[in-house]
Amino acid sequence: MVANTEMSILYYLNSGTNVGSGTKIEGLTQQMFNNYNRSQSDGEIGLYRQGRGDCYLLASLSSISQTKAGARILKENIKQDNQGNYVITLPGAVAVKNNYARDGKTCYISGRYTISKYDVMKARVSREYSKGDVDVLLYELAFEKYREEVLKTNRANGLPNVQGVAGQTAGNATMDNLLDGGQSRDAIFILTGKKSKQYSISPSRVEAVDREDIKAPIYVTEEALSKRDTERFLDKIQKEPGRYAVTFSLKVKDGGRDGRHALTVTRVEGDKIYFVNPWNSGKELSMTREEFFNATYAVTVADFGRTGSGANGANNNVNINQAWLNRLSQLLKK
């Protein structure tokens, strides 16, 4: 038996040798080994449960997979080399890299990320990432590598973490926790190269935040939606399923403080908005349009078009109806 953890795992993956019932190899069990072999990538976003603070990324993946053009992009992003490693292309990251090159600035963003068999198994053993579909995990690992490059690039150029500009946004990420926090508008762009528009929704008027117009492949526009406007875009989503990738954000109580949580709209049927929660993407929940309007503080919409065209946008905090939030929080816990 090879002592090194990576070599031990690769030996068993490549040889097909059984680990041995119940025994562990640096945290690798027979069950984990079997699960790995049964969960090879097919490029499609399957069921999963969130494992860390990357709801923005997981909700974005689910929303993109609801569209025909977006699902195709996600599938085409994942390739395997002749060693069996996964090579993940993030189209938005490639666009950001090209933009830095045009401006002659230092850039560590590559846009393409190699994920080895060992990387996948190590992530599974750590239990720090999502559980379930391996393609979701591959995107988490690729996005994590991208985030590290963003932090290095921003530091090299003396740039802050600019929330309104893709390629300069790192959420709450640090080198110790690269996936922590983020926004769907950025994730959708990095994952697909498609721009989206983010709306602030409130029963009262919400003013858009003014942002400096920064040259980049993507910059944020923000609009406040009235109830009538909200009804109109929900009608559009209902009439053309498979066209729009839609995520929305709620405030959720977390250890005595308000946290923000992103979810995915799966469909709209009449007065009902159906959605899934990254905590368990296999369970579809619903709310009325009135509940949606009163409890949601931001909605991100990416129009992939009938054949795959796109658009882009931002985020704003608003006051929400606490009674509706309490009801939604109960729904999410079921």
In the chain, where the domains are located: 1-34, 50-189, 192-333
**249 close to 297: Cβ distance less than 8 angstroms:** yes
249 three-state secondary structure: strand
| Bridge-based pairing state of the strands 197-201 and 257-269 | unpaired
At 11 the pLDDT is: 43
What the block records as the tokens of 232 is: 């109109």
Residue 188 has pLDDT above 60, yes or no: yes
pLDDT value of position 213 = 29
Percent of the chain with pLDDT over 90: 38
Q: Lowest mean pLDDT of 36-40, 113-117, 244-248, name the range.
A: 36-40
Q: Going by DSSP bridges, is the β-strand pair 28-29/112-115 parallel, antiparallel, or unpaired?
A: unpaired
Whether residue 69 has pLDDT greater than 90: yes
pLDDT of 77 > 70? The answer is yes
Rounded to whole angstroms, the Cα distance separating 122 from 222 reads: 40
Identify whether the C-beta of residue 297 lies closer than 8 Å to the C-beta of residue 201.
yes
The alpha carbon of residue 194 and the mean position of all alpha carbons in its chain are separated, in whole angstroms, by 14
The yes-or-no verdict on residue 109 having pLDDT over 70 is yes
What element of type H or E holds 126? helix 117-126
Report pLDDT for 164: 56
Do 55 and 154 touch, CB atoms closer than 8 A? no
For residue 95, what are the contacts with CB-CB under 8 A and spacing of at least 6?
Answer: 111, 167, 193, 217, 218
Average pLDDT over residues 260-274: 93
Q: What is the mean pLDDT of residues 165-170?
A: 66
Radius of gyration of the chain (CA): 20
Beta bridge partners of 254: 257
Evaluate whether 168 touches 190 at the Cβ level (below 8 Å): no
Q: Looking at mean pLDDT, say which of 98-102, 115-119, 235-239, 253-257 comes out highest.
A: 235-239
* Confidence check: pLDDT of 201 > 60: yes
Closest CA to 315 of 251, 220, 234: 220
pLDDT band at 241; cut points 50, 70, 90: very high
Q: Between the CA of residue 313 and those of 64, 163, 224, what are the distances in Å?
A: 16, 11, 11
Number of CB atoms found within 10 A of residue 34's CB = 12
pLDDT at 61: 97
**pLDDT tops 80 at residue 221:** no
pLDDT tens string 1-24: 333 444 444 444 444 444 443 334
pTM value is: 0.78
Say whether pLDDT at 223 is over 80.
no
Confidence of residue 327 (pLDDT cuts 50, 70, 90): very low
| For residues 75-87, average pLDDT | 93
At 72 the pLDDT is 96
Mean pLDDT of the chain: 76
The 10s digit of each residue's pLDDT in 128-148 is: 899 999 999 999 999 999 999
From CA 34, how far away is CA 38, in angstroms rounded? 6
Per-residue pLDDT of 22-55, as tens digits, reads 334 445 555 555 555 445 888 899 999 998 889 9
Coil, strand or helix: which one is 275?
strand
Residue 242: pLDDT over 90: yes
Residue 154 has pLDDT above 90, yes or no: no
Per the model's pLDDT, the better-predicted residue between 179 and 146 turns out to be: 146
Q: Is the pLDDT of residue 325 over 70?
A: no
At residue 254, the pLDDT reads: 55
Say if residue 114 is exposed, middle or buried (CB neighbours under 10 Å; 0-12, 13-18, 19+): middle
Q: Which amino acid type is present at position 11?
A: Y
Report the 10 Å Cβ neighbour count for 208.
14
Give the closest residue to 195 by CA, choosing from 205, 206, 204, 184. 184
Q: Report the alpha-carbon distance of residue 139 to residue 129 in Å, rounded.
A: 11
Whether 222 contacts 208, CB under 8 Å: yes
Q: Which two tokens stand for residue 205?
A: 């008027």
Task: Measure Cα distances from 203 to 192, 217, 286, 294 in Å.
Answer: 32, 33, 20, 6
Reported confidence tier of residue 200, pLDDT bands at 50, 70, 90:
confident
Within 13 A of 39's CA, how many CA atoms are on the CB side? Answer: 22
